[in-house]
């Protein structure tokens, strides 16, 4: 049980960090960028939210599985594969949670008035300084809630993880997979305990989200 909890936390934290970086960058690009293929990128980044997780998992196998489009090269060069590894669980959780972060980041960056960024430029600050000192702090609230929701989504991820990483106890078995296995093998007490643990964890995340969305008090 603790193995599953530990792995779930590790997978979700790593997935959230990755999603935070990639999702923020993609959100910024979609909110501010004007480039060919913008709509296609937006669609691709939204798909994991619409598709059944098993389909997302299937695509991930095709892409990063041992014989996948990219996975084949990775395996040939490094001997590493995402398939049936905890890193695969982190990747699957991240991919499924990515649309949430992208949408939150896109909305957060769109809400930052362009006037303020321009005010920063005319005050002698370059784009990077402006992003770090003006855009990012002003988008902070939206980004934090995006991160928390991404964490919640990744900790509850089941289908895509099962497809790519499998369900190997102590290696790739996360909480949702452990609950499923406990239930299907008649270990009702274990299933209930794990379910309650996951519920408490998810509840805590919701409370944190609510708090982060409230206006800051000085």
In the complex, the residues that contact another protein under the rule CB under 8 A are: 113, 115-116, 118-126, 133-134, 137-138, 218
Q: In the complex with another protein, which residue's Cβ is closer, 10 or 136?
A: 136
CB of 35 to another protein, least distance (A): 18
Q: In the complex with another protein, which residue's Cβ is closer, 118 or 199?
A: 118
CB of 130 to another protein, least distance (A): 8
Q: In the complex with another protein, which residue's Cβ is closer, 111 or 188?
A: 111
CB of 128 to another protein, least distance (A): 10
Task: Write a three-state SS string for the chain.
Answer: CHHHHHHHHHHHHHHHHHHHHHHHHHHHHHHHCCCCCHHHHHHHHHHHHHCCHHHHHHHHHHHHCCCCCCHHHHHHHHCCCCCCCHHHHHHHHHHHHHHHHHHHHHHHHHCCCHHHHHHHHHCCCCHHHHHHHHHHHHHHHHHHHHHHHHHHHHHCCCHHHHHHHCCCCCCCCCHHHHHHHHHHCCCHHHHHHHHHHHHHHHHHHHHHHHHHHCCCCC
CB of 126 to another protein, least distance (A): 5
Q: In the complex with another protein, which residue's Cβ is closer, 125 or 171?
A: 125
């Amino acid at each position: 049980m603790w193995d599953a909890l530990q792995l779930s936390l590790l997978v979700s934290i790593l997935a959230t960090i990755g999603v935070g970086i990639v999702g923020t960058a993609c959100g910024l690009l979609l909110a501010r960028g004007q480039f060919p293929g913008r709509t296609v990128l937006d669609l691709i980044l939204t798909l994991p939210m619409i598709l059944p997780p098993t389909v997302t998992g299937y695509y991930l196998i095709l892409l990063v599985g041992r014989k996948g489009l990219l996975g084949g090269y990775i395996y040939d060069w490094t001997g590493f594969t995402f398939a049936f590894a905890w890193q695969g669980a982190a990747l699957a959780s991240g991919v499924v949670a990515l649309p949430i972060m992208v949408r939150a980041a896109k909305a957060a960056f769109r809400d930052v008035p362009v006037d303020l960024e321009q005010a920063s430029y005319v005050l002698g600050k370059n784009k990077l300084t402006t992003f770090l000192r003006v855009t990012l702090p002003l988008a902070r609230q939206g980004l934090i809630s995006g991160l928390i929701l991404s964490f919640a989504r990744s900790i509850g991820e089941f289908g895509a993880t099962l497809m790519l990483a499998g369900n190997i106890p102590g290696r790739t078995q996360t909480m949702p997979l452990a609950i499923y296995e406990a239930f299907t093998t008649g270990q009702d007490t274990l299933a209930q305990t794990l379910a309650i643990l996951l519920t408490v964890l998810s509840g805590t995340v919701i409370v944190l989200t609510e708090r982060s969305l409230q206006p800051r008090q000085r």
